[in-house]
Amino acid sequence: MPAGTPQWAIQSWMLLKADLLALLNRQAIALDTGAAALAFSKESPKSIEYAGPFARWTGFVGVSTNQVEVAGQILTQMMSELPSYDLVDQAEILSAWIWTRRQGGAAVRSG
């Protein structure tokens, strides 16, 4: 990317690139790309419009690197702010939170 590209644009591009690589069954490269995207801001996305992909890759990377607890904390914080996200991102955050908790062995209960 050109010098001076905003960090939110770089992170967003990397999250979408990770999604595409995963769809192409290039899991190892997808995880590396997702991890690199998260390195721009470990606790929240640089752009609220990419909260869903950020949550998804937080879960995937956290589970693959045995950092489920850290990923769970980030996703729990995002869950506490759920109404601030659009509906698609809300669904992705909820899905990432449930999947990550299950991968870590936590029970998931409704209401």
- Residues 85 and 74: their CA atoms lie apart, in Å, by 15
Question: Is the per-residue pLDDT at 110 higher than 60?
Answer: no
Greater pLDDT, 37 or 105? 37
- Residues 58 and 52: their CA atoms lie apart, in Å, by 10
Q: Note the helical H segments in 24-86.
A: 27-38, 51-64, 68-80
- Residues 90 and 31: their CA atoms lie apart, in Å, by 22
Query: What percent of the chain has a predicted confidence (pLDDT) above 70?
Result: 95
Query: What percent of the chain has a predicted confidence (pLDDT) above 90?
Result: 83
Tell me which residue of 24, 81, 21, 7 sits closest to 51, measured CA to CA.
81
What is the predicted pLDDT for the residue at 105? 77
Average pLDDT over residues 8-19: 96
What is the predicted pLDDT for the residue at 93? 97
Tens-digit pLDDT profile for residues 30-72: 999 999 999 988 788 999 999 999 999 999 999 999 999 999 9
Average pLDDT over residues 78-96: 97
Q: Is 62 left (phi over 0), alpha (psi -120 to 50) or beta?
A: alpha
* Residues 99/70, Cβ–Cβ less than 8 Å: no
